[in-house]
A = this chain, B = another copy of it.
Amino acid sequence: MLSFESDYNNGAHPDVLRYLLETNDEQTPGYGFDRFSECARQKIREACGFPDADIFFLSGGTQTNATVIDGVLQSYEAVISAETGHINVHEATAVEASGHKVIALPSHDGKIAPEELEKFMENFTADENKDHCAQPGMVYITFPTELGTLYSRAELDYIYKVCRRFELPLFVDGARLGYGLMSEECGFDLKWLAAHCDVFYIGGTKVGALCGEAVVFANRKAPKHFFTIVKRHGALMAKGRLIGAQFDALFSDNLYFRISRHAIEMANRLKTIFRNKGYRFVLDSPTNQQFVVLDNTLMERLGNTVLFSRWEPYSDTETVCRFVTSWATRAEDLDALEKCL
């Protein structure tokens, strides 16, 4: 069945899997001290432009968010997020599990508004009762957002200025980072991003790997004892090589960016197909997630041959549906989709 359901429906990119196969017989130390992980770290450091960056490999997005946030925050501190942020909506209270509140700011197509963040912090700082309140301790944004949108260079720059003014580390959830950076509408590259936040992660699970996210502390060092914090969160892989080797492959010959770019091209074609047939989008997403308004009757019929997500009701007779491309989407999949419509 044709699937545009998510970007984690496939296995790994063939080059990634091949590398696992090639290196399988080699014996290595555990817990990320293997040579593949070290090699991947070096390549990522170079790609980020921070030769001393602290880099850790974790297995999935929710785990990474929970571990980084808990590691950076003091026990009594809270994380600021858009109301639609993944940590606020779809992580089953993984952040609260470590005792931290998520302070939700309004979502503008998945993004927080820099001005609103600034205003919130100014109000908080001026509040006579602030010592009775959750103490904002970091800012969390997603890039791309859960709705496929991107922060512009000016927006991210503004957000990071606010963060530094109020001494709030900025954390960028890059579960789909490649799909953001390789969009035509992205106003910056990985190096610029690394210089405009305090910690971010490079998503592997959704961009070619079987599993794995690379956490990068570039502008600031990792929290003291972060290795132990990772272990405490159950996030330390005994065979750390599994993730290390995959990122080693992904950051060889520009693979990560090439396959991300492919997904964007597929998304562009998908947009054209829908647009040409007169469908509306609920928002203008420049990345691999597209949100199309479908008439419910059509939606049911299409659902017989194509997999996609029913996102939310749009009207009594229409539904917002999400179509996702990935590194694995083929041109012929789009041809087939076009025929189905």
Contacts and interface: CB of A to CB of B under 8 A. Distances in A.
Contacts of A12: 24
Interface stretch (A127-135, A151-159, A293-301): A127-135
Contact of A70 (B5, B24, B30, B75): B75
A225 B333 CA distance: 36
Q: Which residue among A25, A60, A78, A104 has the maximum number of chain B CB atoms within 10 Å of its CB?
A: A60
B11 A234 contact: no
Given A9-B30, A99-B96, A91 B231 contact: yes
A59 B135 contact: no
A182 interface: no
Interface in A94-112: 94, 96-102, 104
Contacts of A271: none
A99 B234 CA distance: 14
Interface string A102-143: 101000000000000000000000001101111100000000
A177 to B, nearest CB: 15
A35 to B, nearest CB: 12
Question: Copy number of this protein in the oligomer?
Answer: 4
**Chain A contact residues, majority secondary structure:** loop
Contact of A239 (B66, B97, B211, B235): B211
A94 B98 CA distance: 11
Contacts of A10: 24-27
Contacts of A93: 76, 78, 99-101, 134, 232
A75 B76 contact: no
Given A11-B241, A75-B99, 17 more contacts: A1-B27, A9-B30, A10-B27, A11-B242, A14-B24, A59-B59, A60-B238, A62-B231, A90-B133, A92-B132, A93-B99, A96-B101, A99-B99, A131-B225, A133-B228, A135-B225, A210-B239
14 contacts: A3-B27, A8-B30, A60-B237, A62-B231, A75-B97, A76-B225, A96-B96, A97-B232, A98-B99, A131-B228, A132-B228, A132-B231, A135-B225, A234-B235
